[in-house]
Amino acid sequence: MRRFLRDNSLSIVFLLLFLAAFCGQAIAGHADFNDEANRHGDPTISLARYVVSSDFGSAVMENWQSEYLQFTLFILLTVWLLQRGSPESKELDKAGVESDEAQKVGPHAQQNSPRWAKVDGIRRTIYENSLLLLMGALWLGTWLAQSRTGVVQYNSERLDHHQGPVAWSHYLTTGNFWDNTLQNWQSEFLAVGSMAIFAVYLRQRGSPESKPVGAPHGATGVEG
């Protein structure tokens, strides 16, 4: 058990952090929702109803979609794009999908390689891109969920102001949808871009996200 916890501590700690922050967001969001309801003389709602409301749903989904977009793009673009000196980049002569030999697939697979890495055809194509496919599907799914919950919130405000509701397809063209989307995207792009550059010159001893402390600034694709 101790060994399992140690071997999986990164995933476990992040899962616990996620659950704590998620519950915290639900409690804080519920308090804020009811404060707002009291200000407008509207009825307050229970925590159980709040966590299945579109108010909470859109707040969660707009953050999730941008996180999954960040990883989708990062996985995809780092196949071809490089950053000299960054541990986030691969070595400068390895841009592209690389050879079967380098990727240890098909006849170059090792005995302990995943089964779908050893075979040819559609199964290998799927497995070769499985990380990107899952992240991309999660991004599109959560972005869709953001739009579906967002239109309910948007229409609720319109009805409050005695305006007619709009269709979901119309909502996708509104400033509200794109403001909620792009405010999250810009922060993700900034974070990834700055990490790629900062890690050229700065170090964190012991972290695989950093180069070894003594590695030269020009060393690319080296992790500590």
Cβ closer to other proteins: 95 or 168? Answer: 168
User: Could you say which residues in the range 136-175 bind other proteins, by CB under 8 A?
Assistant: 138, 141-142, 145, 148-149, 152-153, 155-156, 158-165
Helices (H), 92-215: 100-103, 115-118, 122-128, 130-160, 168-171, 175-201
**138 and 75 in contact (C-beta within 8 Å)?**
no
Residue window 74-103: x/- pattern of binding to other proteins, with contact defined by CB under 8 A: ------------------------------
Told to check if 52 binds other proteins by CB under 8 A, we report yes
Report in angstroms how near the CB of residue 138 gets to other proteins at its nearest: 7
Shortest distance in whole angstroms from residue 145 CB to other proteins: 6
Residue by residue, what is the 3-state secondary structure of 55-95?
A: HHHHHHHHHHHHHHHHHHHHHHHHHHCCCCCCCCCCCCCCC
Q: Is 106 in the site for other proteins (CB under 8 A)?
A: no
Residue count of the chain, please give it. Answer: 224
Select from 98, 107, 94 the least CA-distant residue to 128: 98
Q: Does 42 bind other proteins (CB under 8 A)?
A: yes
Total of chain residues touching other proteins, rule CB under 8 A: 35
